[in-house]
């Protein structure tokens, strides 16, 4: 049979072990909370970037169409100028 001082020592050791375990559990819970918050923030950032990419894609599509339109208009102006220059040459000859 254990003496009272041995029992107290065993209880103290058990309590120390329990306290250490409790500390580790509390730290683990804090890490999980921190990681969940970081994940939520990362998901928000991803969604924001995805939205921005969609907007930029739409803007790029619009810019490309505008460029095509301007190129067609430039070609039409070039052809008109060539016709005018040809007419001027005919008159001058």
Please give the chain's pLDDT, 93 residues, in tens.
Answer: 456 565 666 666 788 888 999 999 999 999 999 999 999 999 999 999 999 999 999 999 999 999 999 999 999 999 999 999 999 999 987
| pTM of model > 0.85 | no
pLDDT at 21: 92
- Is 16 in contact with 24 (CB distance < 8 Å)? no
Q: What are phi and psi of 68, to 5 degrees?
A: -60, -45
pLDDT at 92: 87
d(CA 59, CA 49): 15
DSSP 8-state secondary structure symbol assigned to residue 7: H
d(CA 74, CA 3): 104
């Amino acid at each position: 049979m254990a003496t009272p001082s041995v029992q107290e020592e065993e209880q103290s050791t058990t309590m120390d072990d329990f306290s250490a375990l409790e500390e580790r559990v509390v730290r683990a819970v804090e890490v999980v909370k921190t990681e969940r918050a970081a994940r939520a923030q990362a998901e928000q950032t991803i969604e924001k970037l995805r939205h921005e990419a969609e907007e930029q894609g739409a803007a790029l599509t619009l810019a490309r169409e505008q460029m095509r339109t301007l190129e067609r208009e430039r070609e039409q102006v070039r052809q008109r100028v060539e016709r005018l220059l040809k007419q001027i040459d005919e008159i001058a000859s």
